[in-house]
């Protein structure tokens, strides 16, 4: 049956409060020796949150697996972007770790069916891919600072590698959240190729022929000055459900988006509505009430995701981001978001709505609903048309703040404007 890929969830020996059981990538072989390799989110003894890589093996056709082990080479750092292949009985793993403020490739092999791993660091880089062909191991990656694409080869299964060869570089600026380039291997008619996309062009490099080809030319620059895209957030409270829960619907609205070929969804959340007070202050909505990622044209309502450019296996990281805000008068708040995630979109869309709804909030004992929200975008609060005439706003506080945050676990701090809202409201019908 060969190699198959699929999501997998497993326990890793930590208390449930300290770990998110979400392995983004896993690989199994339909034979006696089987393996899983992927990343998950844990908290250390200082309550710091990290993504880490875990590996386990089975020697009985998958009936049982070893206790998953964190095989990261570093401590208290972010790790991920896992890839795994087999070369006969050798298990070969590669992943990314963040060492000394740099994304660094880590590499491991096992010749005893996973019991022991020989691990080492390779080069600065991220988004690795590996493949083998004719007893040669190939490894490619991208440097996130320069966006150069590199590759190396090994004829001894990773004991040694050739010197890195750069096959692509650009002097254009990239967003820190840009998902491109992300090089991948393709074997076509006995030729090993590296393919990737960057700045609206598709590239392929044929190893052994040293030829770089561009399949598509980007559209010409418009004769007018481009406007910078602008984003704002609309927080909509839906109609009250039978259990008094009110759905919270977030819509990130980006205008002047014609210049974008991907959209970043920032996933800002209500402050404090993801903790231990579930079932009291908040709850996850029933499946039929949730809204997944709806990314649509703000003018037509049509889906704008470019599915031809979506990865075949797509998973959302489970980490949480904190945005610390100084709002004056010794007031400090912490905005919260899930992992900012980029989606490829169709070019030329002027207005993009990114909508999702996962949770709702409960009232207190006297029927009052309260929430706090902070983000790096201006935002507004709305109610459904049915509920709008019955809402009594008890208190409303809004402030402009100075915000600081980190990107992808990097220690370099970003800063900019922040916006904070605190509101308490009730429905007049509650008193009837």
* DSSP sequence for 281-318: TEEEPPGGG-EEEEEEETTT--B-B-GGGS-SS-----
Query: At 283, phi and psi to the nearest 5?
Result: -160, 155
Is 90 exceeded by the pLDDT of residue 153?
A: yes
The whole-angstrom separation of Cα 10 and Cα 17 is 15
Rg (Cα) of the chain, in Å, rounded?
Answer: 24
| Per-residue CA distances from 242 to 5, 273, 361, 385, 386 (Å) | 41, 20, 13, 18, 15
Query: At 310, phi and psi to the nearest 5?
Result: -75, 140
The pLDDT assigned to 217 comes to 46
Share of the chain above pLDDT 90, in %: 28
Helices and strands, counts by H and E, the chain: 1, 33
The pLDDT assigned to 19 comes to 39
- Could you tell me how far CA 26 lies from the centroid of its own chain? 17
Strands (E), 59-135: 69-70, 79-87, 90-99, 102-110, 118-124, 126-133
Share of the chain above pLDDT 70, in %: 80
Is 70 exceeded by the pLDDT of residue 247?
A: yes
Closest among 309, 308, 304, 310 to 347, alpha carbons compared: 304
DSSP three-state, residue 432? coil
Is 70 exceeded by the pLDDT of residue 25?
A: no
pLDDT tens digits, 395-420: 999 999 988 887 655 556 678 899 99
DSSP three-state, residue 191? strand
Percent composition of the chain: helix, strand, coil (DSSP 3-state, to 5):
5, 50, 45
61-70, 389-398, 401-410 — most confident range: 389-398
Is 60 exceeded by the pLDDT of residue 5?
A: no
Q: First vs last Cα of the chain: how many Å apart?
A: 65
Is 70 exceeded by the pLDDT of residue 7?
A: no
pLDDT category at 255 given cuts 50, 70, 90 is: very high
The whole-angstrom separation of Cα 180 and Cα 127 is 10
Question: How many CB atoms lie under 10 A from the CB of residue 413?
Answer: 10
The whole-angstrom separation of Cα 166 and Cα 383 is 54
The pLDDT assigned to 421 comes to 94
- Name the pTM for this structure: 0.49
pLDDT mean over 201-229: 67
Domain ranges of the chain: 3-214, 230-431
Is 60 exceeded by the pLDDT of residue 21?
A: no
The whole-angstrom separation of Cα 344 and Cα 200 is 11
Closest among 48, 37, 19, 69 to 409, alpha carbons compared: 48
DSSP code, position 18:
G
Q: What is the mean pLDDT of the chain?
A: 80
8-12, 113-117, 291-295 — most confident range: 113-117
pLDDT tens digits, 279-311: 889 999 998 898 887 899 988 889 998 888 877
Q: Are strands 359-361 and 201-206 parallel, antiparallel or unpaired?
A: unpaired
The pLDDT assigned to 225 comes to 58
Contact (CB, 8 A) for 127 and 139: no
The pLDDT assigned to 309 comes to 83
pLDDT mean over 242-263: 91
Is 70 exceeded by the pLDDT of residue 211?
A: no
Closest among 140, 152, 154, 146 to 170, alpha carbons compared: 146
Top-level CATH class of 3-214?
Answer: mainly beta
pLDDT mean over 256-275: 86
Question: How many CB atoms lie under 10 A from the CB of residue 432?
Answer: 6
The pLDDT assigned to 215 comes to 56
The pLDDT assigned to 226 comes to 58
* Residue that wins the pLDDT comparison between 272 and 163: 163
DSSP three-state, residue 158? coil
pLDDT tens digits, 83-114: 888 888 889 999 888 876 567 889 999 999 98
pLDDT mean over 229-258: 92
Is 80 exceeded by the pLDDT of residue 336?
A: yes
């Amino acid at each position: 049956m060969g190699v198959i890929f699929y999501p997998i969830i497993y326990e890793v020996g930590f208390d449930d409060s300290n770990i998110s059981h979400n392995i983004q990538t896993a690989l199994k072989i339909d034979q006696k020796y089987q393996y899983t390799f992927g990343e998950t989110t844990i908290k250390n003894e200082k309550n710091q949150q990290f993504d880490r890589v875990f590996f386990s093996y089975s020697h009985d056709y998958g009936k049982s697996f070893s206790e998953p082990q964190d095989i990261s080479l570093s401590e208290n750092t972010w790790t991920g972007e896992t890839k795994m292949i087999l070369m006969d009985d050798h298990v070969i793993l590669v992943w990314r770790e963040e060492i000394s403020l740099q994304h660094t490739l880590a590499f491991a092999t096992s010749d005893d069916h996973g019991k022991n791993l020989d691990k080492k660091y390779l080069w600065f880089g991220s988004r690795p891919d590996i493949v083998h062909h004719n007893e040669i191991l190939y490894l490619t990656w991208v440097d996130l600072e320069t966006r150069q694409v590199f590759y190396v080869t090994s004829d001894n299964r990773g004991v040694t590698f050739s010197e890195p060869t750069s096959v692509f570089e650009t002097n254009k600026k990239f967003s820190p959240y840009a998902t491109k380039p992300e090089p991948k291997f393709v074997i076509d008619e006995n030729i090993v190729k590296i393919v990737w996309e960057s700045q609206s062009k598709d590239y392929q490099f044929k190893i052994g022929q040293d030829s770089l080809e561009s399949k598509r030319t980007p559209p010409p620059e418009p004769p007018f000055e481009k406007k910078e895209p602008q984003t704002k957030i609309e927080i909509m409270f839906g109609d009250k459900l039978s259990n008094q829960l009110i759905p919270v619907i977030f819509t990130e609205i980006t205008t002047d988006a014609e210049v974008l070929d991907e959209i970043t969804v920032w996933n800002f959340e209500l402050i404090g509505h993801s903790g231990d007070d579930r079932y009291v202050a908040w709850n996850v909505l029933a499946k039929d009430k949730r809204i997944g990622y709806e990314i649509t044209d703000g003018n037509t309502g049509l889906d704008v995701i470019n599915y031809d450019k979506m990865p075949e296996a797509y998973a959302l990281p489970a980490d949480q981001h904190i945005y610390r805000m100084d709002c004056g008068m010794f007031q400090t708040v912490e905005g919260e978001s899930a992992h900012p995630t980029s989606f490829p979109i169709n070019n030329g869309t002027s207005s993009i709505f990114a909508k999702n709804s996962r949770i709702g909030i409960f009232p207190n004992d006297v029927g009052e609903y309260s929430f706090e929200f902070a983000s790096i975008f201006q935002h507004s609060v709305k109610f459904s048309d049915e509920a709008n005439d019955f809402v009594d706003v008890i208190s409303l506080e809004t402030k402009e703040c100075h915000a600081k945050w980190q990107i992808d676990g990097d220690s370099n701090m970003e800063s900019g404007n922040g916006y904070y809202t605190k509101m308490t409201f009730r429905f007049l019908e509650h008193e009837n």
